[in-house]
Each structure stands twice: as C-alpha cells, then as structure tokens.
Amino acid sequence: MPITELLEQNCKMYGNDICLVEINPEVKDRRRVTWKEYELIEPSHAPYYRREITWNVFNEKANRFANLLLSRGITKGDKVAILLMNCLEWLPIYFGILKTGALAVPLNFRYSSSEIEYCLDLSESDILIFGPEFIGRVEEIADRISTNRLLFYFGDNCPSFAEDYNVLTADCSSISPNITLTDRDDAAIYFSSGTTGFPKAILHNHESLMHSCKVEQNHHGQSRNDVFLCIPPLYHTGAKMHWFGSLLSGSKAVLLKGTKPEYILDAVSKEKCTIVWLLVPWAQDILEALDSGRLKIEDYELSQWRLMHIGAQPVPPSLIRHWKDYFPNHAYDTNYGLSESIGPGAVHLGVENIHKVGAIGVPGYGWEAKIINPDGSPVKQGDVGELCVKGPGVMTCYYNDEAATQEVLKDGWLLTGDMARQDEDGFIYLVDRKKDVIISGGENLYPVQIEDFIRTHNAVHDVAVIGLPDKRLGEIAAAIIELKPGTTCTEEEMNLFCTGLPRYKRPRKIMFDDIPRNPTGKIEKPVLRERYQVHRLVETEINA
C-alpha cells in the first residue's frame, strides 16, 4: 500500500485531531512558565512560537500542493526538491509531492550553492521549493538552475527569481488528485551524508517507505496516545522514518526547533511527549546540564516519557548507564540503519535487551543481516567483518550511478561499509566504518572502541579518533578530545588514563579541540583528517 493512503485513512478516522505541533523556543517573550502554569494556558497563547494542525488540515495542504504541481505539468516519475528547515509545512509538502506520483527529493540544509546545484542536476529535479534561510544560496545559482526547472518559495517576502508558494496554493483545490500509485512506484530520492565528497542519490520506492512505517511501530509500539518529539532535520531519513510510526498509529508529533537541553525537557514536559529520539551529543548535553545542577528534573513533568532511543552513530555504553541513573524507568532502544536502507531499524537493540547495551542489536522487523569477509564468505562467529542487510527497505539503486550501485548491492544484500561482529547470542556490535579502520604496524585499530574508553573520563565531552600518517607504522591513532565546559585535562593526564587500554590501542597523539558533527550527529572525520593530516605532514617534514 502506498504511504499516501495512511494519510487519507487518518483523515477519515481522526480528521479533527491535532497531528503536528511546531515549536520554536527562540521566538518567545521573557516570561518563565512552569509546566504546571503551562497547563492553564491556551496553546495559542503559549509564551513562545507554537503552531499546530489537524490531520484534515495536513491533508488539505498536501492536496493543494499536489494540485499546484499537476497544474504545472508535473507527472508520475518527475522530481520535486525540498530545501526547507523543519516547519509545520515540511511534511504536507512532502506528501503533496508523493500524491502526484512524483518523487520527493529532500536536500540537506547545510548544502552550499554548488552542492544544491549538483544534487538538483544529479536527481534531475524539475522543481525546487526553498525557504527564507536559503535565499542567498539559491540566488547565487538561480540563473543556471531556473533554465530547466521551476523555483517555488515558501515564506514571507518572496524573492524576484522565484514564485510564491503561499499565493500559488491559496487558489488550488484541497481535494485529493487521486493519482493511482503502487508499491513498486518510485517515491523519493535521498542523499548520502556527503562527508566523503559530493553525495550519492539514493532511490526508494513506496514499498520502502511503507516498510519503514511498519518497522518503526513494531519496534516502538506507537499508539494513538503517544506523542513523538522530533528534533533532527526532516530531510534526513532518520527523523522522517521515526515519524512514520506516528503516521501509522495516527498519533501526534511535535517538531522542536533547537537542541538545547532546556528546550528538549521543556517540550517533553509541556507537550506531554512520550517518545523522544535523541542524538548522542544531545543526550550528553542533557546529562551534563543535570549533573551541573543547571537543570533540575523536578522542574519538569516527565513521568509520561516512556521511551528514549538513539541512532545515527555508535552509542557509548557509559552514556546509557548514566542516563538510567536519572531516568530509571525509561525504555531504551538503539536503532541502526542507513539512508540506503530507508533509515533506522535495519538492526535494533530492542527495548527488552538493555542488558546488551553497547550492541546495535539484532535484525529489525522484516530484515536479515549477516557479516562477511572481503571475499563475501561469512565470518566466523565473533570475528570482525562487513555488515550486510537485506529487506523490503533496501534502496532500488543509486540514481544515475550504476557502478556505485553494483559496488554495494549484491543479490539483494546491501553492503553497509560498517565493520561489525556478532556475539554468541546473535547480537551485533558495530566496530567501525570500514574506511575509518586504522592499520598501525599491521594491527587493525577500530576507533569506536578507543572512543568508548576515552569517553569514560570525567572531563571528556566528546572524542574522535582518526588515523594520521606515520613513516614507521603507516598510521597512528590520534585522539581529538573536546572537554566539558569548566574542566581541564592535560595530554600527560590523558596518556596516563589511556594506559587502561591495551598498548597497541592507545592513541599515539592527543589533541584538544571541538568535535565537528553533521546535523544527524555523525562525527565529521574527513574534516578532522584534513585538518590534522596537514599538521602531521608538516611536523614529519620538519623532523625529517
């Protein structure tokens, strides 16, 4: 069943119920309102920017955009790109595209002008809809990209080189266009994170999207009574596919703009959120705010919060143990996936398996997994190899890139590029990205293992371990460490702490710096390699 039918069903069953809330804590007055006081306030009078829509309004907005697209000649198989920050209109726009039979093409809000142009060309997008944050970037390339596509603008003060979405959709019909769709029809193109160069275009069909709905609800049991707090960017498969559990259950979701700990706890408290998906840095920030006393749990109503889950990157076991100190009643899950496997859930820990924290888990609902040697044969139990997954959520292909597709799709199996091992109980542990493995003096070093150890130091806020060139060993492990605010630690002290690691795993170089992460929480190791390999090469030449 195409995913658009779920929206139609929700309208019939829950049409007047609130489905989406948008909150921007940065736009507010200076009143400090407790959660108890908040319960007495009408939502429209909230002391910060807050909007909400019902399932009926959601569907009407989607239909208006769909009918606008059809009036401009968009047909089945065409592509419409979305370049918007999270907002109440993001998902209705996405579904409006799907309702026409066209493909939705979400773009990363961090893309430069050249990357926007590259992705529009690679995906062969016919229309770009963009928001006010991107006027400057789009204007730089408007002359080139507007020669073969339409530019729609969502927001106030439409620039001269685009058409006004609000004006255009106002006169469009709010009735569904009723385009016939099948599970096998192409639905969306997502882009890889692009941390190793220009991103690849990942093609998914409607079966993939629908399977992600089923996976999410099967893993986390969303019901009509749940409220999902969505913080990550909607262009990414992770945020949207977790929201698909709300779509399938007809439950409410809250789009929160901002990641400060007080914003998150405030939203959970005041909107009665029951499920929150966090990235590692945000969870760390919450714990540090509680540890320091800057925030106090008793200032919030959190008793209804039943599930905290994390994905997008390896999760330090020490973080979850500390989390349970503050939130002992929380169910916890780790979700593993790639945009090529329609985001989270290809492997997941499972809320009943917190005793296995540190593992990414077992194959998710409807998924298979295996770990292989370079020649494609299965590894021995306990050995490290490349993780492969198979299921209805595997991408169709890398769009317009047959060679790259053939590299990662083998007989229906997706080669993830992640190195993993499996324990005697069948639980899979992520060891590292294949390209991040450091070979030092013939030994394979897996940065995640070293990072997990260093994170247990009380002064460490974040850490990234990378390989740096070395004349004698080929590569050495270097740890870039970001300290918690107000703490100190010297290189000598950290080297002493690392004597707790086996000698060959100890980082040979310690550096203190900020750790760059992308919007989905992944450490941008290519940025660090470029920054520090230059220093290392200069240092080597001076010492030679």
- pLDDT score at 236: 84
- Distances from the Cα of 1 to the Cα of 5, 58, 96, 207, 218, angstroms: 7, 20, 17, 7, 17
Q: Is the pLDDT of residue 202 over 80?
A: yes
Q: Is the pLDDT of residue 30 over 80?
A: no
Look at residue 277 and give its three-state secondary structure: strand
Residue 535: pLDDT band by 50, 70, 90 thresholds?
low
Q: Is the pLDDT of residue 311 over 90?
A: no
- pLDDT score at 36: 54
- Cβ atoms of 136 and 83 closer than 8 Å: no
Task: Identify residue 126 by its one-letter amino acid code.
Answer: D
Beta strands in 4-157 (DSSP E): 18-28, 48-54, 79-83, 103-106, 127-130, 150-153
Dump pLDDT digits (tens) for 41-96: 555 555 568 899 999 999 999 999 999 999 999 999 999 999 999 999 999 999 99
Identify which of 100, 270, 248 has the alpha carbon closest to the alpha carbon of residue 188: 100
Total-model pTM: 0.82
Phi, psi dihedrals of residue 333, rounded to the nearest 5°: -145, 145
Least confident of 128-142, 489-503, 522-536: 522-536
Q: Is the pLDDT of residue 432 over 70?
A: no
Domains of the chain with bracketed CATH:
4-305 (3.40.50.12780), 359-434 (2.30.38.10), 437-543 (3.30.300.30)
What single DSSP character describes residue 200? Answer: P
Q: Is the pLDDT of residue 186 over 70?
A: yes
Phi, psi dihedrals of residue 428, rounded to the nearest 5°: -95, 135
Residue 519: pLDDT band by 50, 70, 90 thresholds?
low
Quote the percentage of the chain above a pLDDT of 90.
Answer: 65
Tokens 């809330």 correspond to what residue? 21
Phi-psi region of 345 (alpha: psi -120 to 50; beta: other; left: phi over 0): left
- Distances from the Cα of 314 to the Cα of 118, 215, 431, angstroms: 30, 20, 9
- pLDDT score at 195: 44
Identify which of 65, 82, 109, 77 has the alpha carbon closest to the alpha carbon of residue 520: 109
Residue 174: pLDDT band by 50, 70, 90 thresholds?
very high
Helix axes 237-249, 4-14, angle to 10 degrees: 40
Helix axes 55-71, 4-14, angle to 10 degrees: 140
Dump pLDDT digits (tens) for 372-421: 998 999 999 999 899 999 999 999 999 999 999 999 999 999 999 888 99
Q: Is the pLDDT of residue 196 over 70?
A: no
Helix axes 280-292, 317-326, angle to 10 degrees: 50
Query: CA triplet 57, 59, 1: central angle to 5 degrees?
Result: 155
- pLDDT score at 379: 94
Query: CA triplet 177, 181, 182: central angle to 5 degrees?
Result: 170
Least confident of 249-258, 282-291, 315-324: 315-324
Strands 163-164 and 150-153, sheet pairing = parallel
- pLDDT score at 503: 81
- pLDDT score at 521: 66
- Distances from the Cα of 452 to the Cα of 16, 240, 317, 347, 350, angstroms: 47, 28, 8, 20, 21
Tokens 């893309």 correspond to what residue? 111
- Cβ atoms of 399 and 389 closer than 8 Å: no
The count of other CB atoms within 10 Å of the CB of residue 234 is: 22
Could you give the CA distance from residue 99 to residue 199 in angstroms, rounded to a whole number?
26
Beta strands in 10-86 (DSSP E): 18-28, 48-54, 79-83
The mean of the pLDDT values for the chain is 88
User: How many angstroms separate the first and last alpha carbons of the chain?
Assistant: 65
Sheet of 18-28, strand order = 48-54, 18-28, 252-256, 227-230, 275-278, 307-311, 331-338, 343-348, 362-363
Q: Is the pLDDT of residue 194 over 70?
A: no
Least confident of 31-45, 59-73, 153-167: 31-45
Phi, psi dihedrals of residue 215, rounded to the nearest 5°: -60, -50
Dump pLDDT digits (tens) for 440-477: 765 678 787 888 889 889 899 999 898 888 766 767 88
